[in-house]
Amino acid sequence: MLEGGDLDVLTGDYLAELTMLILGRDLAKNPDLGYAKTFLRQLDGCLATAVDRGVTLVTNAGGVNPTGLASAVRALAEKLGLAARLGRDIRVATVEGDDVRAHPAVPRHALTANAYLGAFGIAECIRAGADVVVTGRVTDASLVIGPAIAHFGWTRDDLDALAGATVAGHVIECGAQATGGNYPFFTELPDGGRRPGFPIAEVEADGSSVITKHPGTGGAVTVETVTAQLLYEVDSPAYRGPDVVAHLDTVRLDADGPDRVRISGVRGSLPPPTLKVGVSTLGGFRNSVTFVLCGLSIEDKAQLVRDQLTSAVGKDGLEFRLARTDHPDPADTESGSALLHVHLKDTDAKRAGRAFSAAAVELALASYPGLTMLGPPGDAAPYGVFEAYAVPQEDVTHTAVLPDGTRVPVPPPAETTTDLAPEAPPQPQTTPRREPTARTPLGAVAGARSGDKGADANLGVWARDDAGYEWLQGFLTVGKLKALLPEAAAVPVERYDLPNLRAVNFVLRGLLGAGGVAASTRFDPQAKALGELLRAKLVEIPVRLVS
């Protein structure tokens, strides 16, 4: 990114729900850690280039110890001799205040508790001339909004501009996912999706933007690649942030030349009075093993293992999932085998560790015929639980620590509102046209992108043209989704329409189970493959759309 073309700011998003748990454990072991060490290793090879080119670096890699990472960056600059090149010391600033473990709304046993801060602290650091801005937990989009605030002088009243930058930040926060990475139609990309470049947001004074990439890099920037990322890990169309609520149903996407997509029309409204707080706690210990069941009597073999393990270790915390990957009249062992996934979670490390492993291994000569495993069980490993809380914005001491050490308080927004997002609107009642159809995978006419938000999953589906959207909007109701994806039938599902994107977005409440990704034993714990599963389903599609 630094060598491929002009940049003003280079952002780096290193944090996820699971990452915060990992960094919290690092900090508990060593007070000098708690930040993303990979950022520091990467910086070793490019800090000098960024300084030479005058590119400001903004990253949330500070994790749960932004001060520690800032000190490490200064030490790296000294090692690289940058002061002599610059004629001054490198200017490193931090954003602090997200650690709210002491807040009364947060459980006392929390390992980490971090409020999702907004962008105005980052803007203060950049206005003070920082070469590198290190934050803890800010919203992903804040990494883009902050530099735009500093450059254009936006205030909290510039809601539409802030909302536009929020959308730009959301598009580029996951890197190559906006340029063809994880894209359902990857075979159509110029290089087949082999090495997509990283996206660039050219943000303008009114908050509109153009998404592009450096010339000569792989992948592509199209309306559909941008749509795919816009639908990733979103809830209702009212996309909540600490500084503004961006209304995704107002987003307009237009091609603006080769590998250029313009984002415009985004409307913003007042933010909520509270900040989201991600809380990580240690949930206990876990272990797992997968038995391979080959040939006949698959269900009986699985039941035998269930009975034997339950008898050996007890039923509490024990989970079994049978994946019928076997085929009749198989050509080889693999195609004739099913997989029985067994998980155990417990607060007792010995039961989840030695007791479970011993019970599983002892079945090798005393269970079903042909017993084998994908690998032996190991030692018990600790797992974490993620929960989302909310605290009033005014309870958080959002602070910008400037390069000279000056601490600048960042006040919360003066105006907020609790009237943020309507309930999911009623489903449109349409009468299907009587016309010829063909039983075809849904993915032949629709793209999809899915992901996780704590215990919930989202599944965004878009049509490739107007005719496809007209059909999709009437066809893919909540009831139809539950019929196509039986695992969704047991949870509340909301559908939101995004006509400007020719898309519908489903939110599947509680699909991933309590505790979030770190505690999940699902085969697809982050619901990343849920969209592709839906696209593989055979449905009756009008012949005019698939011919």
User: Is the residue at 506 inside a domain?
Assistant: yes
Distance between CA atoms of 104 and 167, rounded to whole angstroms? 33
Residue 350 DSSP SS3 = helix
The answer to whether the CB of 35 falls within 8 A of the CB of 22 is no
Which residue, chain included where needed, has tokens 């850690």? 33
Beta strand 112-115 pairing with 92-96: unpaired
Averaged pLDDT score across all residues of the chain: 95
User: Is the residue at 428 inside a domain?
Assistant: no
pLDDT at 422: 58
Same domain, 340 and 263: no
Same domain, 286 and 223: no
Same domain, 321 and 464: no
pLDDT at 430: 65
Same domain, 273 and 289: no
User: What is the per-residue pLDDT across 452-475, written as a single tens digit (0 to 9) for each?
Assistant: 988 999 999 999 999 999 999 999
Residue 190 pLDDT exceeds 80: yes
Residue 423 pLDDT exceeds 70: no
Distance between CA atoms of 430 and 440, rounded to whole angstroms? 21
Same domain, 362 and 465: no
Same domain, 289 and 165: no
State the alpha helices, DSSP H only, in 217-261. 223-230
User: Is the residue at 429 inside a domain?
Assistant: no
User: Is the residue at 422 inside a domain?
Assistant: no
Residue 284, beta-bridge partner list: 383
Same domain, 293 and 267: no
| Cα dihedral 513, 517, 522, 525 sign | positive
Q: Which range marks the domain in which residue 165 is found?
A: 9-278+389-409
pLDDT at 499: 97
User: What is the per-residue pLDDT across 376-389, written as a single tens digit (0 to 9) for each?
Assistant: 999 999 999 999 99
Same domain, 401 and 517: no
Angle between helices 66-79 and 37-44 (to 10 degrees): 20
Element (H, E) at 68: helix 66-79
Same domain, 460 and 361: no
Residue 37 DSSP SS3 = helix
pLDDT at 419: 84
Give this prediction's pTM.
0.94
Span 217-241, average pLDDT: 97
Residue 248 pLDDT exceeds 80: yes
Name the band, by pLDDT with cuts 50, 70 and 90, for residue 80. Answer: very high
Same domain, 376 and 479: no
